Structure 1
Amino acid sequence: MRLISHPVLCNYYITYRCNAQCGFCDIWEKPSPYVDIKRVKKNLSDLKRLGVKVIDFTGGEPLLHQNLDLILKEAKSLGFITTVTTNCLLYPKMAKKLKGLIDMLHFSLDSPNEDEHNLSRGVRCFDFLLKSLEVAKDLGEKPDILFTVFENNVDQIEEVYEKFCKPNGLVLILNPMFEYGSVNTGDALSNNTLTKLKYWSKKPSVYLNDAFVQLRIDGGNHINKPVCKAASSTVVISPFNELILPCYHLGIQSIKIQDDLYDLYHSEEVKKLIAQEGRMPACEGCTINCYMQPSFAIEMNKYWWKALPSTLKYNLLKGTWKQLLPGKKA
C-alpha cells in the first residue's frame, strides 16, 4: 500500500569531483563542474513544491564546493532537513562556515586502523578525520561516524564503536556495502556478516536500517515485484543541472532541467521513466542503500515495518523526527 505519493528525498550532486580515490567508488574518475548557486536556489524552490523533505548534498566530495555554506543556508531557510557526507579532508578548514547548517553530518570511516583507512580512501586522510572530530566537538557539532561494512572489516565495528563513537557521544551508522556497475566492492555480505550486523543494530547510538539486512536475505530487488521506488521517492540532480532517472547508479536518462524542475518531474517523459523503477534488467538483485532507504519509507510492506524502528531510533537521536511527521511541510 502506497503511503506517500510524492518524492521525499533529493540526492543533489553538487560536484562529481573528489579529493580522494576510494577503491569502491568511481565518481572521482568523472569530469565535473560545480553547481551554480542560482540554479540551486530555483531547484530547491521546486523541490519544496514537490514535497521533498530531505536534501542530501553529495558528490564527489561536497566540501570542495566553495559556496556549500550558502547552498545549505538556502536549504535551511526553506525548512529542508540537510545531510552531508565528507571524507574530512576539508572539514577543519570549513567547519565554522558550516556550523549549524547540517542536520545529518557524516564523517566517513572505513577502518579504525590508520593505514587501512588511508588505503581504502586512496589518500592519507585518517589524521584529518581525527582533527575533524576535535574541531566538531569544539564547535558543539555532533557528526555521525559512517562505517561502510565489507566482509573484511565487519569485525572492526566494535573497535570503531568503542574508540570513536562512545567517548564522543556520536552515532555510528552501519552502511552495508552494495554492488553497482563494474565497481569492485568486494565479496557479497555473507549470512554470518548479516547476523553480526543485526546484533550491532540493537546497540545504543548505532543505526542500521534493519530492512537493508532483510533485503539482502531476500536476494535484493526483484523486477517481477520490485521494492525499489528510486525514481518516485527520490529526485536525483547532477552537477550539470540534469534530472537523472531512474537513479544515479543506473542513469538510463539524463534530462536538462532548464529551471523547470517541478513541471519536468510531472511531464509524460519523466512519468514513463518512473514507471520503470525497479523493473529493468539491471534492477534485479539491486541493494543500493541510498535508494532503498527512501523506497522503504513510502510504501507499507514488510520492509516498511522492518525499517520503522531503526528509522525512528535515528531520527530521535538526531532530533529530526518532528520534521518527518506526515503533513509537516518542508
Structure 2
Amino acid sequence: MRLVSHPVLCNYYLTYRCNASCSFCDIWERPSPYVTLENARQNLRDLKKLGVRVIDFTGGEPLLHRQLPELLREAKQLGLITTVTTNALLYPKQAEKLRGLVDMLHFSLDSPVAEEHDQSRGVTCFDKVMESITIARQLGERPDILFTVFEHNVQNIRQMHEEICLPNDLVLILNPVFEYNTVETGDRFSEVTLQQLSGWGKQKNVYLNDGFIQLRRDGGNHVDDPICRAASTTIVISPENKLVLPCYHLGLKEFGIDNNLYELYHSNEVQKLVALEGRLPACEGCAINCYMQPSFAVDITKYFWRSLPSTLKYNWMKGTWKQLF
C-alpha cells in the first residue's frame, strides 16, 4: 500500500566539482558549472509546491558553491528540512555563515586513522574533519559522522564510535557502500559483515537503516517486482538546471527546467519515465542508499518495517521529527 504519492526528497546537485577524488565516486571527474541562485529560488518554490519535505544540497562538494548559505536560507524560509554532506575541507572557513541553516550536517569520515581516511579520499582531509567537529560544537551545531562502510573497514567502526562519536556526542551514520555504473567498490558484503552492521545499528548514537541490510540480502532491487521508487519519491536537479530521470546514477534523460519545474514534473513525458522506476534493465540488483531510503518510506512493505525503528531513532536523536508535523 502506497502511503505517499508525491516526491518527498530533492537531491540538488549544486556542482559536480569536488576538491577531493574519492576512489568510490566518479562525480568529481565530470566537468560542471554551478547552480545559479535565480534558478534555485524558483525551483525551491516549485519543490515545496510538489510536496518535497527534505532538500539535500549535494555535489561534488557543496561547500564549493559560494552562495550555499543563501540557498540554505531560501530553503529554510520555505519550511524545508535541509541536509549537507561535506568532506569538511572548507567547513572551518564557512562554519559561521552556515550556522543554524543545516538541519542534518554530515562530515564524511571513512576511518578513525588519518592515513586510511586520506587515502580513500585522495586528499589530506582527516585533520580538517577533526577541526570541523570542534568548530561546529563551539557554534552549537551537532554534525553527524558519515562513515562509508566497505567489507575491509568494518573493523574500524568500534574505534570510530568510541574515540570520535561518543566523546563528542555525535551520531555515527553507517553508509554501506554501493556499486554503480563502472565505479568499482570491491566485493559484496558477506553475511558476517551484514550481521555486524545490523548489530551496530542498535548501539547508542549509531544510525543504520536496517532496510539496507535486508535489501543486500535480497540481492538489491528486482525489475519484476521493484522496491525502488527513485523517480516518484526523489527529484534530482543537475548543476545545469535540468531534471534528471529516473535517478542521477542512471541518468537516462535530462529535461531543461526553465523556471517550470512543477509543470515539467507533471508532464506526460516525465511521468512516463517515472512509471519505469525500478523496472529498467540497469535497475536490476541496484542498492543505492540515497534512493532506497525514501523508497522504503512510502510503501508498506517488509523494507518499510525494517527501516521504521532506525528512522524513528535518527529523527529522535536529531530532533527533526518536530519538523515533519
Q: How far 1:324 sits from its partner (Å)?
A: 2.3
**Partner SS state of residue 235, structure 1:** strand
> Identity of aligned pairs, percent?
66
Q: How far 1:162 sits from its partner (Å)?
A: 0.5
Residue of structure 1 in register with 2:225 after alignment: 225
Residue of structure 2 in register with 1:107 after alignment: 107
Q: How far 1:186 sits from its partner (Å)?
A: 1.2
Residue of structure 2 in register with 1:167 after alignment: 167
Q: Which runs of 5+ in 2 are unaligned?
A: none
Looking at structure 1, the residues matched to 300 and 39 of structure 2 have their Cα atoms a distance apart, in angstroms, of 35
Residue of structure 2 in register with 1:191 after alignment: 191
Q: How far 1:322 sits from its partner (Å)?
A: 2.4
Looking at structure 2, the residues matched to 137 and 320 of structure 1 have their Cα atoms a distance apart, in angstroms, of 18
Looking at structure 1, the residues matched to 204 and 50 of structure 2 have their Cα atoms a distance apart, in angstroms, of 35
Deviations 1:187-222 (A, max 9, x none): 111111100001100001100000000000111000
Looking at structure 1, the residues matched to 285 and 315 of structure 2 have their Cα atoms a distance apart, in angstroms, of 28
Residue of structure 2 in register with 1:322 after alignment: 322
Deviations 1:60-90 (A, max 9, x none): 0000000100000000000000000000000
Deviations 1:155-204 (A, max 9, x none): 10000001110000000000001110000111111111100001100001
Looking at structure 1, the residues matched to 37 and 189 of structure 2 have their Cα atoms a distance apart, in angstroms, of 40
Residue of structure 2 in register with 1:153 after alignment: 153
Q: How far 1:110 sits from its partner (Å)?
A: 0.8
**Partner SS state of residue 199, structure 1:** helix
Looking at structure 2, the residues matched to 219 and 169 of structure 1 have their Cα atoms a distance apart, in angstroms, of 35
Moved over 3 A (4+): none
Looking at structure 1, the residues matched to 309 and 154 of structure 2 have their Cα atoms a distance apart, in angstroms, of 22
> Counterpart of 1:269 in structure 2: which amino acid?
E
> Counterpart of 1:192 in structure 2: which amino acid?
V
Matched, 1:204 2:201: no
Looking at structure 1, the residues matched to 181 and 324 of structure 2 have their Cα atoms a distance apart, in angstroms, of 32
Looking at structure 2, the residues matched to 227 and 166 of structure 1 have their Cα atoms a distance apart, in angstroms, of 34
Q: How far 1:323 sits from its partner (Å)?
A: 2.1
Looking at structure 1, the residues matched to 100 and 324 of structure 2 have their Cα atoms a distance apart, in angstroms, of 19
Residue of structure 2 in register with 1:297 after alignment: 297
> Counterpart of 1:72 in structure 2: which amino acid?
L
> Counterpart of 1:120 in structure 2: which amino acid?
S
Looking at structure 1, the residues matched to 322 and 292 of structure 2 have their Cα atoms a distance apart, in angstroms, of 22
Deviations 1:13-59 (A, max 9, x none): 00000000000000000000110001000000000000000000000
Residue of structure 1 in register with 2:288 after alignment: 288
Matched, 1:44 2:44: yes
Alignment of 1:28-107 (within 5 A): 28-107=28-107
> Counterpart of 2:150 in structure 1: which amino acid?
F
Q: How far 1:134 sits from its partner (Å)?
A: 1.0
> Counterpart of 1:25 in structure 2: which amino acid?
C
Q: How far 1:234 sits from its partner (Å)?
A: 0.2
What is the number of equivalent residue pairs in this alignment?
325
> Counterpart of 2:221 in structure 1: which amino acid?
N
**Partner SS state of residue 236, structure 2:** strand
Alignment of 1:128-147 (within 5 A): 128-147=128-147
Q: TM-score, normalised by structure 2?
A: 0.99
Looking at structure 1, the residues matched to 80 and 102 of structure 2 have their Cα atoms a distance apart, in angstroms, of 10
**Partner SS state of residue 101, structure 1:** coil
Q: How far 1:127 sits from its partner (Å)?
A: 0.9
Residue of structure 1 in register with 2:238 after alignment: 238
Residue of structure 2 in register with 1:328 after alignment: none
Residue of structure 2 in register with 1:126 after alignment: 126
Looking at structure 2, the residues matched to 55 and 92 of structure 1 have their Cα atoms a distance apart, in angstroms, of 23
**Partner SS state of residue 197, structure 1:** helix
Looking at structure 2, the residues matched to 324 and 243 of structure 1 have their Cα atoms a distance apart, in angstroms, of 25
Residue of structure 1 in register with 2:267 after alignment: 267
**Partner SS state of residue 303, structure 1:** helix
Q: TM-score, normalised by structure 1?
A: 0.98
Looking at structure 2, the residues matched to 293 and 19 of structure 1 have their Cα atoms a distance apart, in angstroms, of 27
**Partner SS state of residue 11, structure 1:** strand
Q: Which runs of 5+ in 1 are unaligned?
A: 326-330
**Partner SS state of residue 173, structure 1:** strand
Looking at structure 2, the residues matched to 265 and 28 of structure 1 have their Cα atoms a distance apart, in angstroms, of 27
Residue of structure 2 in register with 1:253 after alignment: 253
Residue of structure 2 in register with 1:6 after alignment: 6
Looking at structure 1, the residues matched to 154 and 231 of structure 2 have their Cα atoms a distance apart, in angstroms, of 31
**Partner SS state of residue 155, structure 1:** helix
> Counterpart of 1:210 in structure 2: which amino acid?
D
**Partner SS state of residue 147, structure 1:** strand
**Partner SS state of residue 79, structure 2:** coil
